[in-house]
Amino acid sequence: MKKNDTIQLKIEDMGVNGEGIGKLDGFTFFVKDAVVGDTIEAKVMKLKKQYGYARLIRVTEPSKVRCEPVCPHARQCGGCQLQALSYEAQLAYKSKKIQNNLIHIGGFSEIEAPEVLGMKDPWRYRNKAQFPFGTDREGNLVTGFYAARSHTIIPCTDCQLGVKENKTILEIIQSHMQKYQIPAYDEVTRRGLVRHVLIRKGFYTKELMVCLILNGRRLKAIEELTSALAAVPGMTSITISVNIEHTNVIMGTEILPVWGQGYITDQIGKISYQISPLSFYQVNPIQTERLYQTALEYAGLTGTETVWDLYCGIGTISLFLAQKAAKVYGVEIIPQAIEDAKKNAERNQITNVTFYTGKAEEILPQKYQTEGIRADVIVVDPPRKGCDLPALETMIHMQPSRIVYVSCDSATLARDLKYLCEHGYEIRKVTGCDLFPWTVHVETVCLLSNRKLKPELSLDMEDYYRIKDAEKEKNKTS
Ligand code: SAH
C-alpha cells in the first residue's frame, strides 16, 4: 500500500474529532466525512507505521445512521463535524466518547455509558456567532466561517446553527463597508479595519447585541451604520472592540460604546442575566438550562450549605445555586464577567453570593488558608484545559461532601476525576448534555461524593462535623 492508492474500507468506529475509522491489512485509517457503518472508497493521503489518513472519494454503501447534511458547506466548514450523522447516532457517539475518556484516561474501567440529554429541535440553537471578515481572491469583501484548520473564509451569512438575524445584520454591515470602501482586516499584511463581527441574541428577551471588532477605534459614517442596525427588531447594544494586536484572539480587551447599552440581558430558568461582549455565556440557552438543572440536582442543596462555584463566568451557575444554598462564593478570571456577575446578583435580588476576580487555583487556596472559608459543595466548570492542580489540591484539603464537575472536555474531566478519586472521592453520577448538536463537542456533568463521609450521600452537616472532629481526635492521638 502506498500514498494515492485507492482503498475500500468499512468504517467501524468514529474518532474524537468525528472522523471515520476503518481497518485494512492491519492498518487503521482515519477518514474525515465518513460515518460509522459506511462502506467507502478512499484515497490514501498519508501513511505512518501502523495507521494512516485517507480522503473519502465516495460512499459505496451508506450507513443506516448516515443522513444528508442540511448545510451545503458542511464538508468544508470547520464548525460541524457530524452533519452526516443522524442526531440519535450523534448522541450515542457522544455518550461513548465520554465513557471512553473516563475508562482510558480516568481508569474508571467499570463506568457505564452515560445518558446524553439531546434536543428536540437541534437547529438554530446558538445565541452567539463570531463572523470573520476578509477579502477573496477576486478582491471581494467576504464574511462567513473559517474552513477546517485554516483561515480561508467560506462565504456564509446564514449558518443553520445560528439565529436568522445574523444574515440581516451581516448584510447591513457588508453593504455599509462596500458603500464607504471600508476594508476588511488582512491577517498577513495586518492592514484593513474590520476583523470580526460578534452577534449575540438573548433567546428569552429577544435582545440583540452587535460588537464590531476593529483594527482601530473608528469606522466611517458609523451613525449611518448604527441607525440601519438599530432598525433590526430587538437591537439593544452596539459596541466596538478594539483589537490592534497581531493575534488569533478574536476580541480586543477594550470595548467602546456606540449605540444603546453595553450589554444585553437574557433569562435562564427564573434568573435574569446581563451579558457583556467579553463575558462568557453558554451558547445554547435551551440546553444550558438542563445542564444547570442537572448540576443543581447533583449539588443536592438543602439551604444550609456553603458552596463554591469555580470558573463562574457571569455567575450563571452561582445564582442558580444561591437559590438553595446558605452562601455561594464565585471565582472567575475575567474582570468584566465578575462585574456582570455582581450586577446579576443585584438584578435578581440575590444577596448570599460573593464574587472574587482571579484564578481559581489562586483564590481558592488563599481564601481557604487565610480566611478559613470552607465548602460543603464545590461546583467547577473550567475551560477545556480543566482544573489546575492547586485548585484540585485545595478542593481535597477542603473536603466538601460533594463535588459537581461540569466539563466541556471529557478528556480533561477524566484526568481531573482520576486525581480526585485517588484522593478520597468517588463518582456517583454522570450525565452528558448536548449543547452543540452536529459538532463533536459535548458537556458532561459529574457528581462526586466524599468516601470518608458516611452515610455517603448524607447532607447532614452534624454528621459531617462529627466525623471531621473524630478524625482530628484520631490524628492528635496517633
Ligand atoms: N460557569 C460559567 C462559565 C464557564 S466557562 C457558565 O456556565 O456560564 C469557563 C470560565 O472560566 C470562563 O468564564 C473563563 O473566563 C473562566 N476561567 C478560565 N480560566 C480560569 C481560571 N484559571 N480561574 C478562574 N476562571 C477561569
**pLDDT value, residue 78:** 81
CB environment 332-369: b (16+ within 10 A), e (fewer): bbbebbbbbbbbbbeebebeebebbbebbbbbbbebbe
Per-residue model confidence as pLDDT tens digits over 55-66:
999 999 999 999
Residues classed as catalytic: 408
CA 417/CA 313 separation, integer angstroms: 22
Three-class DSSP category at 10? strand
Report d(CA 254, CA 335) in Å as an integer.
12
Closest Cα to residue 131, out of 193, 194, 187, 189?
194
Q: Specify the pLDDT at position 210.
A: 98
pLDDT for 467 beyond 70: no
Confidence of residue 17 (pLDDT cuts 50, 70, 90): very high
443 C-alpha to ligand 1 centroid (Å): 14
pLDDT tier at 148, thresholds 50, 70, 90: confident
Q: Are strands 264-268 and 271-275 parallel, antiparallel or unpaired?
A: antiparallel
pLDDT tens figures, 404-451: 999 999 999 999 999 999 999 999 999 999 999 999 999 999 999 999
pLDDT of residue 170: 98
Q: What is the pLDDT of residue 261?
A: 97
In angstroms, what CA-CA distances link 311 with 71, 86, 211, 256?
A: 34, 33, 24, 26
- Taking only the tens place, the pLDDT of each residue in 107-127 is 999 999 999 999 999 999 999
Query: Are residues 239 and 217 in contact, defined by beta-carbon separation less than 8 angstroms?
Result: no
Q: Is residue 292 lining ligand 1, measured as CB closer than 6 Å?
A: no
For 40-50, the pLDDT digits (tens) are 999 999 999 99
Which three three-digit cell numbers place residue 122?
A: 437541534
User: Ligand 1 center to residue 9 CA distance, Å?
Assistant: 42
Provide the Cα torsion 272, 287, 199, 313; round to 10°: 60
What is the distance, to the nearest Å, from the Cα of residue 430 to the centroid of all Cα atoms in its chain? 18
Alpha helices, H only, 4-158: 87-104
Do 18 and 440 meet the contact criterion of CB atoms below 8 Å apart?
yes
- On the question of pLDDT at 196 being above 60, the answer is yes
Q: How many CB atoms lie within 10 A of CB 466?
A: 11
3-class SS shares of the chain: helix, strand, coil, % to 5:
25, 30, 40
Q: Residue 233 pLDDT > 90, yes or no?
A: yes
Residue 383 Cα to ligand 1 midpoint, Å, equals 6
Q: Nearest C-alpha to atom 23 of ligand 1 is from which residue?
A: 359
Q: Is the CB of 282 under 6 A from ligand 1?
A: yes
Residue-wise DSSP of 251-290? --SEEEEEEE-S-EEEEETTEEEEE-TTS---S-HHHHHH
334 lines ligand 1 (CB under 6 A): yes
Closest protein CA for atom 16 of ligand 1: 311
* pLDDT beyond 90 at 301: yes
d(CA 434, CA 446): 14
For residue 66, what is its C-alpha cell?
Answer: 448516515
228, 234, 237, 243: CA torsion to nearest 10? -70
Quote the pLDDT of residue 455. Answer: 45
333 Cβ closer than 6 Å to some ligand 1 atom: yes
For residue 334, CA distances in Å to 61, 276, 311 come to 50, 11, 10
Q: Give me the pLDDT at residue 452, please.
A: 85
Ligand 1 centroid to residue 151 C-alpha, Å: 26
Ligand 1 centroid to Cα of residue 313, in Å, is 5
**Residue 123: helix, strand or coil by DSSP?**
coil
Query: What are the tens digits of pLDDT across the range 269-287?
Result: 999 999 999 999 999 999 9
DSSP designation for 118: P
Helices marked H in 303-437 — which ranges? 316-322, 335-347, 360-371, 389-398, 410-422
Q: Are 276 and 344 in contact (CB under 8 A)?
A: no
Bridge partner residues of 241 (DSSP): 213, 255
Distance (Å, whole) CA 84 – CA 101: 24
Ligand 1 contact, 360 CB (< 6 A): yes
Could you read off the pLDDT of 332-366 as tens digits, one per residue? 999 999 999 999 999 999 999 999 999 999 999 99
Name which residue sits closest to atom 13 of ligand 1, judged by CA: 313
- Vertex 380 angle, CA 457 and 432, to 5°: 75
C-alpha cell at 54: 485517507
